[in-house]
Structures are given as structure tokens and as C-alpha cells.
Structure 1
Amino acid sequence: MRYLSKLLDFEGKHLAGLDHLRALAIILVFLCHYRAYERPEWVEVIGSFGWVGVDLFFVLSGYLIGYQLLRYLQLNQVIDFKHFYISRTLRILPAYFLVVTLYFMFPVLRERGGIAPFWQFITFTQNFNLDFGNEGSFSHAWSLCIEEQFYLLLPLTLTLIAQKGYLNKGMYILLFLFAASMVVRAISWYYFMAPFYFHDILDGRFVAYNKWVYYPTYNRLDGLLVGVGIAALMVFRPGLRDRLAAYGNQLFFAGCAVIIVAYFFLSKDRLDLLPTLFGYPLIAVGFGLMVLGALYPTCFLYHLRWKISTLIAALSYGIYLCHKFLNHLLQGPLQELGIPAESNWRLLICAIVSVLGALLMHRFIEYPFLQWRNVLLRRRRTIRKVKEAWSSK
């Protein structure tokens, strides 16, 4: 009962708006990847743009981690690195390493045959030089690698900025990094993709784009930076934060409008230069406005406490890890049972099994490590308080 209470947030501790957005993100990703199989026609309509679910995850991560670190920095003038890295390690790594191990121990799980080298998964560098054409299995770990690199570097970067006395210039630094990422992405496109367009070469274009433009960290900072920017606004700009509080719905729907613009902007050929240069910023800003709006009680999402969204949000990490190999394993048995490949029933079964797989992983892997994490961090706080009490005598 205690487990279900935490999983479904019976105490109402979660920000419901962010739960809805996290659930939306994993649904978009799931539909995007389900396009690898025969599917209902409507899946193509949504799933062809479903890759933006990863960008929504980036904005959410940027905000949640950024807020945690910036708030701690504001209150204590320093970041507790050990606390932060223990927290992130025990939250992320157990389930991730389990799935990596399964992929390498049981090749039958591999949805696309080839897979990147093991060392790249355990060093979180798989998103560099990733050849989707030959290493497509568990390729979606690229975004997890970016997030791990973000978790590693953000505390160090914020500490350096604080030590140099530049926190009051944080927004300018974020804007500079945002623009720099666009410039680097444009350079990557010109260097690796321009020959495909200048010579009208279609063969290998998508694989090359993913490898050199889409996957590398330095090209995908938009969403994370927008998320950190929202966190900085909430922590260091209380006046603006409070003025925006009256416009939760307006911010959210403005974000939706930006995403719609991005959808049409990217619908023709998202691999071309202009979509590559401006599409990702549009998506990041659109989702950023939606996240910012959802933080305020004046947004309708803030008050919608749907347990289905809470459940999917809580399991979103596990679903992300396991949905591709579970979908792959289910296709044969479902075909033998006579369930049509393009039917909604097959899609629904795959979705339910992915949720159940994530639930099992959460209950028996993630949750025990989270409990251990809480014990370790409580013990650290107690020891620190005792030391402070003794030193004050």
C-alpha cells in the first residue's frame, strides 16, 4: 500500500501539470518508435512528430534539475556534490544498467540487430558517432547519455559561474549557450549534410543526419537550456515569476501555438538547413512555455489530478528503457494469435505490456534503490547536523 501511495501520489505532492507533460512526452516517444511496425494510420500522423517527446523530456529535466541546484545554491552558496550525485546515481543507473545488460546478454531483444559498443553505453558516450543504420538497437539511449552528461556538468558549471560572481548574468550566459548551440548545429549541417543536398543524394541521408547532427550533445542543448532558464527565472527573478503567475493558461496555450508552428515548419523536410537551425529552438521554446504555464495554479493542467497521468509519468523512465524491445518481442506472438498488425488492439497490447514491464522494473529495481538513496541521504544529513552541533560548542 505504501508503494502504491508513492507511485500514484495519493498525498498530492507532485506538480500535476508536470506529470501530464511527462506522460505526454513518453506517449509521443512510444508512438514515434511504434512506426517501425505496421500500425494504424493515425499513429503515423502523431508518431511522425513524436520524436519531439525527447525534447519535452529535455525541457522537464533542465527545469527540475536546474531548479534543485539553483535553489540549493541560493540557500547555501555552494552545491552539495556528493548529495546530488548520490541522488542521481541511485535514481538513474540501476534500471539503465539492467536494460543494457539484457541487451548484451540476450541478442534476441535487439529490435534492429546491431548495437553500439558496450563501453559507450557504460560511459554514456553512445550518442557520439552513433550509426543508426548498423547500431539501431537501444539507439534511443542517446538521449539518456545527453541527460547523464548534463547531470555531470551542470553542478560543476553552476559552481564555476557562482565562484566567478556571474550568477546575476546567468540569463546572458544561457542565451549565449543557446545561440552557440545553434551555430554549432549549423556548422555540423554544412560540414556533414550539405554534400547530400548539393548533390541530391538520398541514400544514407537520414543516418548521416542522426549521426552528425541529431545525436551529439553539442547540437541538442536547446531544451535543457530552456529548462534551466525557467528554473533560473523561478529562483532568481521573483518579481517576474509573480507577475507571470496570473497567466498560466496563456503561457501554456502560447507554447502549444509555438509547437503547432514548429510542426508545420518541420513537416516538409526536417533534415534541411533551416529546420535544423530554427526547428529545435522553436520546439524548446514551445515546450518551455508549456512547462512554465503548467507550474502555475492559473493553468488548468495544475488542477487536473488524473491517476493515469501520474502512473505513466512515474513509469516514464522505465517505459522509455524497455518499450522498444518489448514491442519487438510481441510482434511474432501477436501475429500468431491473429491480431492484425495495423489494428489498434495490437498497439494497445504493446502499450499495456510496456507499462507492465516498466511497473515491474520500478517495483523491483528502481523503488528499492530509491529507498536506499533516501536512507543514505538522511544519514548524511544527520551526520552533518551532529558535526555542526559539535563544531558550534
Structure 2
Amino acid sequence: MSRLPGLELLRAIAVIWVMLFHSFLVGGLGPDFAWLSRFGWMGVDVFFVLSGFLIGSQVLAPLARGERLSFADFYSRRAYRILPAFAVTLAIYLAFPGLRESDGIAPWWQFATFTMNLQAHYEPHVAFSDAQAAFSHAWSLCVEGHFYLAFPALAGWLTRRPSVMKVIGMCVFVVLAGVLLRTGTWLYNTALDPPRNWFVEDIYYPTWNRLDGLLAGVVLATISVYRPGLWARMGKLGNGFAAFGLAILALTMWLFQQRSGLRGNSIGWPVLSAGIASLVVAGASTRSWIGRWSVPGAAWIAAVSYSLYLSHMLVLHAVHVQLGEWLQGSGLIAFAVYAAATLAGGALLHYAVERPFLQLRARRQSSGRSARDSGAPFTA
């Protein structure tokens, strides 16, 4: 898929929004910026919808052409993209405890097996520094990892005998099951009031409760691959989708006025995902103001967004330890210092680790294509 400035803008907004939300680690960035950071956790859901759309398109496109999906190639591409920067960040967290934003951290094997989001354990009244909170934002990478593992096989099964009703039935099942599961979990834990942070452990982190965004993205990918005419007509209505998406986003903020409340955690997630999906349609359209608006710097932030996401908590903590007292109450100056530091940290991880492995992946793919074109055997 060619580069689309609208999708790059959404990715850049998502990672900045998440970093603003995590500014609570440094005591917040002052009242002037509180309105920006309050709902910053929604940035992760933007990533989920974008991932569902982009990965879904990569998986479904060859299947739509009647080709067999190469699982080895797919997982190799994902490994080059995800694992190097993740492994380096995890190694820093484990090797240098003084750099962690929290003293407590989950066991290394939970990160290595991408199961940390399923085994999180936070006491409800324990200070942040004493909880297993260091590198806790890796929970979303675990959800992504489970998606990478399961979706190709599921897509192959669904497309073996394609059926619109089968796809629609699967989507309805996932959405309704999520609503019922989150609602039941919320009611059960509210009644028992267990002495743990059950909202994070049982609702917010587990993969089975966070499928709405990925599903919304996959639905868009399915339309773009299997119904290109409909996708083109949707693109012509890009500004309408943008306006609708922003309206739904406002509705979602109302639903999540209490972030851990029943209203948001029952129906809020599919509503949020629908709104973000509408923005993705607008972002993929060259006719919408989002799709044709090339914001300076957005493409670069989008390119380094993965490294930014991995490293920003470490950087925020480091700056807070060194300059926190001096920056306290300085408003715009504090914002600028923390922003510059996180961008620099993300850039370092990207250019030192992530980009070299992406270049290695590109060289391997290029040599593989040359081998196939020349009739030589291809080795993955």
C-alpha cells in the first residue's frame, strides 16, 4: 500500500496523544494541556484500527487474487518490524532498574511470550512506583501479537469458501461477545469488589476485550480488497466520514466520562472503533481534508511512532528525575522540554535499531524476488 498522508497524520496524532496521556508520570503538563491528555488512551485504539486495516489488507490481498498466503513471509516481516526494537527496550528495562518509570516490573518471560497483558497484577491502593507498572504499555503490543498470530489463519479459513453472511456473522459475534463479556465482568467485579485493580486486569488489558478496533480495521480492509467499487465510493465521501468520525469521537468521550464505568466499557469500545474507522476512511481518501492535508513533520513522527511508543516512558522518567523540580510549574517550557526529549529518544531507537532491521528486511525481500525471477530457489 502506497504512503497516504492522511493515515500518517492519524498515526502521528495517535502516538502524540498517548504520550500526552502518559504525562501523568511527570505530574502532568499543567492545566493548559489537561484537556489534551485526558482521553489520550484512545490513541492506542487508533493504532488498533490502523493495524487492522493495514495488516488486514496485506493478508487479504493475495487471498483475493487466489494466491496462497505465505505464513513464513508474513511472520518474518512482522518479526523484523516488531521484535528488534521491542527486545532492545525490554533489555534496557531489565538491565537498568534505575531508568524504569516504576520500581516494579512484570517477569521478563511475560514480555517475551507476549502474555503480559493476560497476567497483569496491580494492587488498587499501591503506589505507581511499587506496582508492576514499568513497561506496562507493552500490553498493547501483546494484543497486536495475538492478532498477528491468529488473523492469517482465520482469514484463510473465511476466504476458503467466501460468504458475505459468514463474514457479517463473525463480525456481529465478535462485537456482541465483547459487549456481553465486558458488561458481565464489570458487574461481577463491582458486586464482589475484589482487592485488586480489576478494571485494568480483567477489562482494559485482555486481548478478548480489545478486539473492536482491530475488527473495525479488518472490515475496512475487507471492503477495500473485495469491494473496490464500494471503497472508491466511500473515498468520495471522505469529508463526510471525517465529520461523522469526529462526531462519534465526541460521543465516545461522553460515554467514557468515567473511564472505568459501565457505560463506556459495555458499548463504548465498538462505538469508539466505529468513529476511528470513519476517520481512517477519510485518511485513506485523497478527496478529504485529512487525506490531502500533508502536515509538516507528520510523516516523520508516523515513521518513528513505534520506537516513540516503546521508549517514551523511559525518557519521560529520565527527564523528570534530572529536571523535574526545575520544570515544575513552567508550563509551555516543560511541555517543550519533555516533547523534545521523547522525540529524541524515539528517534535514537528508530535509527539505531528499528530502521536497520527494516532495511535488512527490504534487502532480503529484494534478493528473494530476484531469486524467484531468475528461477533460482527462494530461501526465506
The question of a shared fold, defined as TM-score above 0.5 by the shorter chain, is answered with yes
TM-score (norm 1): 0.89
Query: Which residue of 278, 281, 294 maps to 1:289?
Result: 278
User: Could you give the per-residue CA deviations for residues 192-232 of structure 1, whole angstroms, max 9, x where no partner exists?
Assistant: 33333xxxx9x75xx22001110000000000000000111
State the distance in 1 between where 2:199 and 2:186 align: 8
Tell me what 1:103 maps to: 93
Query: Which residue of 187, 192, 196 maps to 1:190?
Result: 187
Tell me what 1:91 maps to: 81
- Post-superposition offset of 1:131: 2.0
Tell me what 1:37 maps to: 26
Tell me what 1:177 maps to: 174
State the distance in 1 between where 2:212 and 2:191 align: 22
Contact residue 8 and residue 299 of structure 2 kept, 8 A: yes
Q: How many pairs are equivalent? A: 370
- Post-superposition offset of 1:386: 4.0
TM-score (norm 2): 0.92
State the distance in 2 between where 1:362 and 1:185 align: 36
State the distance in 2 between where 1:242 and 1:169 align: 24
User: Could you give the per-residue CA deviations for residues 221-274 of structure 1, whole angstroms, max 9, x where no partner exists?
Assistant: 00000000011111112232222232101101100000001111211x232222
Q: 1:372 to 1:167 in 2, by over 3 A?
A: farther
Q: 1:228 to 1:194 in 2, by over 3 A?
A: farther
Contact residue 114 and residue 135 of structure 1 kept, 8 A: yes
Query: Which residue of 134, 139, 158 maps to 2:136?
Result: 139
State the distance in 2 between where 1:143 and 1:24 align: 17
- Post-superposition offset of 1:175: 2.4
For the residue of structure 1 that corresponds to 2:297, the secondary structure is helix
Tell me what 1:4 maps to: none
Paired AA for residue 35 in structure 1: F
Tell me what 2:113 maps to: 123
Q: 1:193 to 1:129 in 2, by over 3 A?
A: farther
Show structure 2 runs of 5+ residues with no match: 124-130
State the distance in 2 between where 1:379 and 1:353 align: 38
- Post-superposition offset of 1:341: 4.5
Tell me what 1:25 maps to: 14
Q: Is 1:50 the equivalent of 2:37? A: no
State the distance in 2 between where 1:386 and 1:186 align: 57
- Post-superposition offset of 1:355: 0.8
Show structure 1 runs of 5+ residues with no match: 1-11
Tell me what 1:368 maps to: 356
State the distance in 1 between where 2:67 and 2:187 align: 43
Contact residue 256 and residue 263 of structure 2 kept, 8 A: no
Paired AA for residue 141 in structure 1: A
State the distance in 2 between where 1:342 and 1:160 align: 56
Paired AA for residue 139 in structure 1: S
Q: 1:195 to 1:42 in 2, by over 3 A?
A: farther
Judge which range, 312-321 or 168-177, deviates more: 168-177
State the distance in 2 between where 1:335 and 1:51 align: 23
Q: Is 1:330 the equivalent of 2:319? A: yes
- Post-superposition offset of 1:35: 1.7
State the distance in 2 between where 1:30 and 1:99 align: 17
Contact residue 115 and residue 135 of structure 1 kept, 8 A: yes
Query: Which residue of 333, 337, 340 maps to 1:345?
Result: 333
- Post-superposition offset of 1:388: 8.7
Tell me what 1:249 maps to: 239
Contact residue 35 and residue 44 of structure 1 kept, 8 A: no
% identical equivalent positions: 35
Q: 1:194 to 1:259 in 2, by over 3 A?
A: farther
Q: 1:191 to 1:381 in 2, by over 3 A?
A: farther
Contact residue 193 and residue 208 of structure 1 kept, 8 A: no
Paired AA for residue 292 in structure 2: H
For the residue of structure 1 that corresponds to 2:121, the secondary structure is coil
Contact residue 18 and residue 295 of structure 1 kept, 8 A: yes
Tell me what 2:228 maps to: 238
Q: How does 1:378-393 map to 2 (within 5 A)?
A: 378-387=366-375
